[in-house]
Amino acid sequence: MTVRLNKKAAEQARWLVRDGDVVRDERDDWSEHAPSTEDENAFIDDEGMAAYASWHLGEDTDAGEDTKGRWKFPYGDFRRVHRCAVISGESRAGQYDHDDIEQALKDILRLIDDEGSGRD
């Protein structure tokens, strides 16, 4: 599996954080806050695969281009960046030696923690 950084998604995440579209939740909240399979499918139906991809910092270039399996390391719920998703993704990226994704997530987390309070 070859997973590379989705630079467009990283830029979108930074923009959303700067705009205040962030949830400053706790580390272990992602299992409850992550979009369900049904939510993902509805989002793809409404917005398309490119929009879905923009919410994921990793791209598995071995997976089919129009499949959800191509997109890894989600950072939000299709509306806002979730701090818990960023922390979870950073840990997983480090575990699997995806250094560029891990660094992007560290940068986003630092931005979340440095910015003023957002909309929770």
Express each pLDDT in 80-112 by its tens digit. Answer: 999 999 999 999 999 999 999 999 999 999 999
User: Which pLDDT value is given to residue 115?
Assistant: 80
- Which tens digit of pLDDT belongs to each residue from 10-39? 999 999 999 999 999 988 899 999 999 999
User: Which pLDDT value is given to residue 118?
Assistant: 43
Residue type, 42: A
The pTM for the full model equals 0.92
Residue 86 · residue 23 · CB < 8 Å? no
Residue 53, C-beta contacts closer than 8 angstroms, at least 6 positions apart: 6, 8, 9, 59, 70, 71
Residue 108, C-beta contacts closer than 8 angstroms, at least 6 positions apart: 10, 13, 14, 17, 75, 81, 86
Domain ranges in the chain are 3-114
Confidence bin at 116 (pLDDT 50/70/90): low
E strand residue ranges, 1-120: 3-5, 22-23, 56-60, 71-74, 81-82
